[in-house]
Amino acid sequence: MCCLFTVLVFLGPRAGILVWWLLQPARWNAAFQGFLMPLLGFIFVPWTTIMYVLVFPGGITGFDWLWLGLGLLADIAWWSGAAARKRVPGYTGQY
């Protein structure tokens, strides 16, 4: 789990998903029935996907919904931040 956290910090949630899936494929197979949902989560809502796999064992109850909500908020913040950068006049994305 420490290795996953390090990957998330330095490379982002998509790299964390990839590393976690390679290290624990059984956990991912238990959380998702097919391949489509994790793929869509990887592309569009990576933080929510990570949180779902983290809280899935034993079912989603109680504070698990809080963690899923935090993951969703992180994804919304990422998407809204990317949209805001495009509205800044003269922003080229280079320093």
Amino acid at 70: L
For 40-77, write each residue's pLDDT tens digit. 999 999 999 999 999 988 888 888 999 999 999 998 98
The reported pLDDT for the residue numbered 31 is 92
Q: Determine, yes or no, domain membership for 55.
A: yes
> Which is more confident, 94 or 42?
42
Q: Determine, yes or no, domain membership for 95.
A: no
Overall domain count for the chain = 1
The reported pLDDT for the residue numbered 70 is 93
pTM above 0.85, yes or no: no
Q: Determine, yes or no, domain membership for 54.
A: yes
Q: In terms of DSSP H, where are the helices of 2-63?
A: 2-11, 13-23, 25-31, 36-44, 46-55
Q: Determine, yes or no, domain membership for 15.
A: yes
Cα–Cα distances in angstroms (integers) from residue 94 to residues 24, 27, 46, 81, 85, in the given order = 37, 39, 25, 16, 12
Cα–Cα distances in angstroms (integers) from residue 39 to residues 14, 85, 91, in the given order = 10, 26, 31
The reported pLDDT for the residue numbered 22 is 93
For 1-55, write each residue's pLDDT tens digit. 677 777 776 678 898 899 899 999 999 999 998 899 999 999 999 999 999 999 9
Q: Predicted confidence band at 80 (pLDDT cuts at 50, 70, 90)?
A: confident
What domain range is 30 assigned to? 2-83
| Beta carbons of 56 and 31 less than 8 angstroms apart | yes
85 Cβ contact partners less than 8 Å away, ≥ 6 residues apart: 91, 93
